[in-house]
């Protein structure tokens, strides 16, 4: 959605095309349910060597409507699989004091594996964390997966991101996840997310899907859109837009807002 707004000229874009200082490349792999045994063994070795891991779930509690794993129920399975390692859990319903206590213990290295929902997506910086496991990865958007992956690789340790798929993961969803495996370039991921999901409605509230605007594709015709915006800005500077604005009527009763540079 932010990319769509930048294409329309509603947002300015600053490009930072290099990793922050001290960041370590993260190796990303795609695995299915059959890899759980090997994953548990890998995590035991990683924690024994001094590392830590996040294990992110898409749900807090099990749902009859959504076939996906939940942190509140599956944290017990993680503890059982990783016997001897301290495993804690946090999510959006965890009391604030308890959540802060668990996060502090994880930051201090007292917790080996932190099971969580996307509450750890931003604002968490633990350089010692070296593994990110994302359960039912097909349930997350590409940009969100990239953001979660950014929680590891913040120190000197080699770092990994494991995208676990559920048994109902469709081929199309797997192809989408392979984009995250193939690149760590946030620009490429945003572009692919935009191409696959669409920008949403031009004048409505829906923030994803194909727009009703059928004259052009925001992404395929982005160069033409940039040229048109430049021409509109030049016309605005010449004072030619006032008369045009009186003649233009947008759908939904939304008045035209043409960037004038």
For the record, the structure tokens of 186 come out as 């946030």
| Residue among 163, 182, 152 at smallest CA distance from 39 | 163
- Residue extent(s) of CATH 3.40.50.300 domains in the chain: 26-183
Q: Are 86 and 47 in contact (CB under 8 A)?
A: no
Radius of gyration (Cα) for the chain, nearest Å?
Answer: 22
The span from the CA of 66 to the CA of 81, in Å, is 24
The span from the CA of 178 to the CA of 188, in Å, is 12
pLDDT by 10s per residue, the chain, length 261:
565 656 556 556 666 666 666 688 999 999 998 999 999 999 999 999 999 999 999 999 988 788 889 999 999 999 999 999 999 999 999 999 999 999 999 999 999 999 999 999 888 999 999 999 999 999 998 989 999 999 999 999 999 999 999 888 899 899 999 999 999 988 888 888 877 777 666 666 665 566 665 666 666 777 887 788 788 778 777 777 776 666 665 555 445 454 444
Fold held by 26-183: Rossmann fold (3.40.50)
Asked whether the whole model's pTM tops 0.85, one would answer: no
The span from the CA of 128 to the CA of 50, in Å, is 8
Strand 26-31 versus strand 113-116 pairing type: unpaired
Q: List Cα–Cα distances, 80 to 50, 74, 83, 171, in angstroms.
A: 20, 10, 5, 31
């Amino acid at each position: 959605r932010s990319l769509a707004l930048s294409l329309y000229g509603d947002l300015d874009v600053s490009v930072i095309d290099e990793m922050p200082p001290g960041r370590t490349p993260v190796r990303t792999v795609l695995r299915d349910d059959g890899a759980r045994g090997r994953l548990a063994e890998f995590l035991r070795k990683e924690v024994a060597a001094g590392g830590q891991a996040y294990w992110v779930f898409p749900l807090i509690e099990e749902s009859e409507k959504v076939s996906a794993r939940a942190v509140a129920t599956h944290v017990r399975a993680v503890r059982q699989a990783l016997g001897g390692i301290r495993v804690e859990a946090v999510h959006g319903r965890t009391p604030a004091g308890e959540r802060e206590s668990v996060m502090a213990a994880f930051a201090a290295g007292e917790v080996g594996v932190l099971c969580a929902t996307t509450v750890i997506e931003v604002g968490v910086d633990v350089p010692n964390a070296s593994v990110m496991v994302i359960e039912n990865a097909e349930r997350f958007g590409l940009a969100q997966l990239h953001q979660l992956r950014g929680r590891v690789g913040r120190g000197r340790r080699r770092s990994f991101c494991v995208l676990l798929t559920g048994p109902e993961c469709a081929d199309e969803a797997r192809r989408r996840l392979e984009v995250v495996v193939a690149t760590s370039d946030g620009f490429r991921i945003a572009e692919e997310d935009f191409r696959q999901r669409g920008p949403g409605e031009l004048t409505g509230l829906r923030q994803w899907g194909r727009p009703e605007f059928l004259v052009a594709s925001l992404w395929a015709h982005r160069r033409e859109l940039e040229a048109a915006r430049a021409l509109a800005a030049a016309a605005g500077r010449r004072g030619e837009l006032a008369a045009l604005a009186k003649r233009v009527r947008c759908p939904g009763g939304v008045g035209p807002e043409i960037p004038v540079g």
